[in-house]
Amino acid sequence: MDAKEWLVEQDRLNHIRAKLKVRIAELEPAMANFRDQVTSIRKHFWEDVTVNTSTHEDFEETFYAINQQTAVLSERERGHNLLIQQWKSLNRLLRNPYFGRIDFQEVGLNDTEQIYIGVSSFLDEDGLNFLVYDWRSPIASMYYDHSPGPAFYDAPYGRITGLMELKRQFQIQGGQIVTMFDANVTIGDELLQQVLSKGANSEMKSIVATIQKEQNAMIRDDKSRMLIVQGAAGSGKTSSALQRVAYLLYKNRDTLKADQIILFSPNPIFNSYVSTVLPELGEENMQQTTFQEYLEDGLGASFRIEDLFDQLEYELTAHQTSEYAARLQGMKYKASTGFLNALNQYVLGLGSKGMMFNSIWFRERELISAEQMRSQFYSTPPSLHLSDRVELLQKWLLDELVLLERREIDAEWVLEELNYLDNDQYAEVFGELHKDREVFDIAEQYAEIQEKIHKKLRKDEGDFTFAHQEEELLRHKIVKESFKPLRRSVKKRMFIHVQGLYAQMFSDQTTILEMTHESDMPSLWSEICEQTRDKLNRLELFYEDATPYLYLKERIEGVRTNTQIKYVFVDEGQDYSPFQYEYLKKRFPRARMTVLGDFRQAIFMQSTSLHESDSPLFKLFGEAGTNMICLNRSYRSTREIVMFTKKLLSAGDEIVPFDRSGKKPELIRLESDEIRDAQMRRDIASLRAEGFDSIAVITKTAAESRKAYETLGIQGCEGLLLITKKTLTFEKGVLVIPVYLAKGVEFDAVLIYDTSSQVYRQENERKLLYTACTRAMHRLMLYSVSDWSPFVEVLDRDLYNLAPEVAHEI
């Protein structure tokens, strides 16, 4: 870039920054003014309102005055918040006004427009000229999608075509242009090289300046009901998803708020990892949760639910137990579409037989039996949905309770309770009755007048006394109180015996066949049945049962829906079962869904393929409403690490590394655990000395993590942090972490604690090793004290370096 051009750009930058400073300075007094007004209104709120409730008119006037005052206050607060937002946005721009420029000549116009692109827009004083365009604006999309030459963008009023004459990238720091490139391809590799060569952070970064074309397609897809993104490890799925959230918030700024978007994260620690990206882009964070939270919300009070991580630990460590084979078959089957279909069939079948209810008991008496409910339920129209029939039954039960409650008033126990009312209770009841008394007086007068007019005796003549009436009302009140929990439990639909219904599917082979017409059953079905029933009897649920159980419960009771949410994002989408997708769709009926995942990292027993043509995800919203984007370029790791990790897979050929060089992965075999730990301590120290400050020792299981944490500590390794599923925030340092908690995150250097054949041998462990190794950005080191894992053993020798002292051993 010639020096003259550089000067011109620096001049423009100075000019824009000066304008920004002026605008900021102009805003500050207005902000202070609003703030003072808000403080003053809050302080004097009651002084400015005359409260008078003596007459109806006074009351209305007071009410009106309070309302008016509240409206003024919230209008000022809104104004203040708006100015704060603008102020923050301008300050963000002042630090870094733009990162790109394109020169575009629109067909039919003579002038070429210079379009500068930054994290938000900035207009000239006249409000007509864009000095900086928001990266999400339609015109800015050309920056990501086109190389210099013919180009176009889709404006709200149609497609605009023209010629892109220039595409320039900037890095700006402290008001100075640090680097400047003219790119002749989409986004130049040079800038990306610089960005990617930096160290990992405990928080994810925004990629706004270097979004790639295929990522941009995903970010700006606003047509699909279901967007599936299958992407290699490190291809930018999560980063692009967050940019997509920012884009959607911008595009739909009048109708969409951040809390109408929800992201399902793989674990709580991931929430903290991604939480800074949107604020960095000037947007509020969306809601974040985990599926486990949803399960616990739906079932937590009735069951202790295993989580996905404990399920995986079981799968990886319980080989020796007698029930292992059946449990594994159960995990697989219960996550399958086959079981989902079976369950749907089962629910359908319940329309004609098999419903189970819990009798309603009261003071050790069966008030309404399960049998009565069953016959009442089956007397409702079979053409209705099961949940509608449940609703009719619920109404019937509430009516029955009213009748039973009335009958109960004369029961012996009520009289006893009456005698045992303590003074406070009595006084409370008496107070209430006293109020009612006025009503009785009027009723009494009315009855007397009626008597006179019609000249006939009232029915209750002679036996109507207040004492009697009081006692009756007291009895009534006592019964009503005692029936309250019954009514509440009916409203919560606790009369449905969901546990029994779920267990019924697992009663024996014939039941499920009869109920579901399902022929493709696991061979160890009777053992699976026994395990499931045992667990249910202990009021515990295997992870693989939790979603089907909740699904069954909600199909019968009626689904709890959340219609506020407009977009659902599912990260690590391969780790969700078809059940869970069905559940999410029903739970968020108004939402569009974005699923990001990598089937090559499907380490849990339950998984859903994202890109196979028979993926259940295509059926969820129908093919017409579904779009799939594949991201095969991997940005996180160096070329050497990607070449190594993709060969760990049986089918990883399509993964393409971004061309950033580094050291080859290193294989280090040592004679004993102690020697390995001592070597790791030395390696960690030298990595730190090289300037890498985010380092992870990755293990297969939590038990192995605990062991590594202890033994490395004994070897004098300092500053270790043990990460467990309870850890909520990420910190920089040397983390010891099981692979399933490292999903989705990255480190400068990764050390695989034990890469022997005892640890990574089974086919399901291949993906674990792949996932662990792909967390590394710059350095990858694998250790073993015995034979190498067969997945490593077969790799071409030129894909890695062997530590010299052990070179002869492989």
Ligand X SMILES: Nc1ncnc2c1ncn2[C@@H]1O[C@H](COP(=O)(O)OP(=O)(O)OP(=O)(O)O)[C@@H](O)[C@H]1O
**Residues of this chain that bind ligand X (CB under 6 A):** 192, 195-196, 205, 207, 210-212, 215, 231, 233-239, 598, 635-636, 744, 746, 774
For the CB of residue 220, give the shortest distance to ligand X in the complex, in Å.
14
- Residues with Cβ within 8 Å of residue 291, at least 6 apart in sequence: 264, 308, 576, 580
Residue closer to ligand X (CB basis): 206 or 336:
206
For the CB of residue 802, give the shortest distance to ligand X in the complex, in Å.
26
DSSP code, position 614: T
Residue 231 in marked binding region: yes
Q: CA 48, CA 788: separation in Å to the nearest integer? A: 80
Residue closer to ligand X (CB basis): 208 or 390:
208
Residue closer to ligand X (CB basis): 121 or 169:
169
Tokens of 628: 């799939």
Contact 398, 373 (CB under 8 A): no
Residue closer to ligand X (CB basis): 315 or 746:
746
Residue closer to ligand X (CB basis): 90 or 207:
207
For the CB of residue 233, give the shortest distance to ligand X in the complex, in Å.
4
Burial 171-207 (b: 16+ CB within 10 A, else e): bbeeeebeebbebeebbbbebbeeebeeebbbebebb
Written as one letter, the residue type at 731 is: E
For the CB of residue 651, give the shortest distance to ligand X in the complex, in Å.
16
Residue closer to ligand X (CB basis): 234 or 738:
234
For the CB of residue 401, give the shortest distance to ligand X in the complex, in Å.
53
Residue 232 in marked binding region: yes
Residue closer to ligand X (CB basis): 598 or 754:
598
Residue closer to ligand X (CB basis): 240 or 789:
240
Q: CA 774, CA 636: separation in Å to the nearest integer? A: 8
Residue that has been written with the tokens 């073993």 in this structure: 784
Pairs from 391-400 (Cβ < 8 Å, separation ≥ 24)? 391/558, 393/495, 394/490, 394/491, 394/493, 394/495, 397/360, 397/368, 397/373, 397/490, 397/495, 398/487, 398/490, 398/491, 400/368
Residue closer to ligand X (CB basis): 397 or 737:
737
CA 109: distance to chain centroid?
A: 47
Residue 749 phi, psi dihedral angles, 5° rounding: -130, 140
Residue 234 in marked binding region: yes
For the CB of residue 683, give the shortest distance to ligand X in the complex, in Å.
23
Residue 573 in marked binding region: no
Residue closer to ligand X (CB basis): 239 or 499:
239
Written as one letter, the residue type at 651 is: A
For the CB of residue 670, give the shortest distance to ligand X in the complex, in Å.
29
For the CB of residue 5, give the shortest distance to ligand X in the complex, in Å.
25
DSSP code, position 259: G
Q: CA 676, CA 711: separation in Å to the nearest integer? A: 10
Contact 506, 525 (CB under 8 A): no
For the CB of residue 33, give the shortest distance to ligand X in the complex, in Å.
41
For the CB of residue 205, give the shortest distance to ligand X in the complex, in Å.
5
For the CB of residue 803, give the shortest distance to ligand X in the complex, in Å.
27
Task: Give the strand pairing for 261-264 and 287-289.
Answer: parallel
Q: CA 682, CA 734: separation in Å to the nearest integer? A: 13
Residue closer to ligand X (CB basis): 616 or 744:
744
For the CB of residue 224, give the shortest distance to ligand X in the complex, in Å.
19
For the CB of residue 243, give the shortest distance to ligand X in the complex, in Å.
9
Q: Following DSSP, what letter does each residue of 766-784 receive, concatenated?
A: HHHHHHHHTTEEEEEEEEE
Closest among 519, 409, 529, 521 to 473, alpha carbons compared:
409
What is the 3-state composition of the chain as percent helix, strand, coil, each rounded to the nearest 5?
A: 50, 15, 30
Residue 235 in marked binding region: yes
Which residue intervals of 455-465 are DSSP H helices?
A: none
Specify whether the backbone of 25 is left (phi greater than 0), alpha (psi in -120 to 50) or beta: alpha
- Upper half-sphere CA count for residue 540 (Cβ side, 13 Å): 8
Q: CA 105, CA 114: separation in Å to the nearest integer? A: 9
Residue closer to ligand X (CB basis): 525 or 569:
569
Q: Following DSSP, what letter does each residue of 484-523 receive, concatenated?
A: HHHHHHHHTTTTB-HHHHHHHHTS-HHHHHHHH------T
Cα separations (Å) of 485 from 428, 474, 491? 20, 18, 10
For the CB of residue 636, give the shortest distance to ligand X in the complex, in Å.
4
For the CB of residue 706, give the shortest distance to ligand X in the complex, in Å.
25
* Sign of the torsion angle spanned by Cα atoms 592, 597, 602, 604: negative
Residue closer to ligand X (CB basis): 753 or 770:
770
Q: CA 250, CA 239: separation in Å to the nearest integer? A: 17
- By beta carbon distance, the residue nearest ligand X is 236
Residue 531 phi, psi dihedral angles, 5° rounding: -60, -40
CA 722: distance to chain centroid?
A: 25
Residue 786 in marked binding region: no
Residue closer to ligand X (CB basis): 541 or 631:
631
* Sign of the torsion angle spanned by Cα atoms 213, 218, 223, 224: positive
Which residues partner with 541 through β-bridges?
A: 305
Residue closer to ligand X (CB basis): 192 or 505:
192
- Residues with Cβ within 8 Å of residue 272, at least 6 apart in sequence: 203, 728, 729, 730
Q: What residue numbers does the annotated binding site for ATP cover?
A: 231-238
Q: What residue numbers does the annotated binding site cover?
A: 231-238
